[in-house]
């Protein structure tokens, strides 16, 4: 995988937890790296149960939202599930305005995101 790691990945009871390492996911290069690293979890590792942890993220650009939508499609295409957790209120507001809160399963905590996988 090229470039510095933009996500920390761990496995908990067969569920992949990907935690963003950047506070600000704004510039195109970073977003491309993050997208590639997330996509490889599905395309190369065939991981079907993924939780994205946003606890470090303070800012998220609209281009990053596009990557998340693509990731969701990839996960669903292999019969998997994608969940988000620990999203700051101001970022969650963006998900609500764009109606992406209807597309994604969003939980308050990592524990709740892991329930019922």
User: Are the CB atoms for 29 and 2 separated by under 8 Å?
Assistant: no
* Model confidence, pTM: 0.94
Beta pairing class for 7-12 and 15-20: antiparallel
Identify the CATH number of the domain in which residue 84 sits. Answer: 3.30.750.24
Residue written as token pair 């609500």: 96
pLDDT (tens digit, 9 = 90+) per residue, 46-97?
Answer: 999 999 999 999 999 999 999 999 999 999 999 999 999 999 999 999 999 9
Asked whether residue 33 is domain-assigned, the answer is yes
- In tens, the pLDDT along 15-46 reads 999 999 999 999 999 999 999 999 999 999 99
Would residue 1 count as lying in a domain?
no
Number of domains in the chain: 1
Q: Could you tell me the two tokens for 82?
A: 């994608």
> Which residues are 49's β-sheet partners?
81
Quote the crossing angle between the two packed helices 28-43 and 62-77, to the nearest 10°: 10
């Amino acid at each position: 995988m090229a470039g510095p790691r933009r996500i920390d990945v761990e496995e908990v009871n067969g569920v992949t937890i990907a935690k963003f390492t950047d506070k600000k996911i704004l510039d195109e290069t970073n977003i491309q790296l993050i997208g590639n690293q997330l996509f490889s979890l599905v395309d190369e590792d065939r991981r079907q149960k993924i939780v994205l942890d946003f606890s470090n993220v303070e800012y998220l650009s609209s281009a990053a939202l596009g990557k998340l939508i693509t990731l969701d499609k990839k996960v669903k295409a292999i019969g998997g599930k994608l969940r988000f957790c620990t999203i700051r209120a101001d970022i969650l507001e963006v998900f609500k305005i764009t109606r992406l809160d209807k597309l994604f399963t969003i939980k308050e905590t990592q524990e709740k995101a892991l329930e019922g996988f």
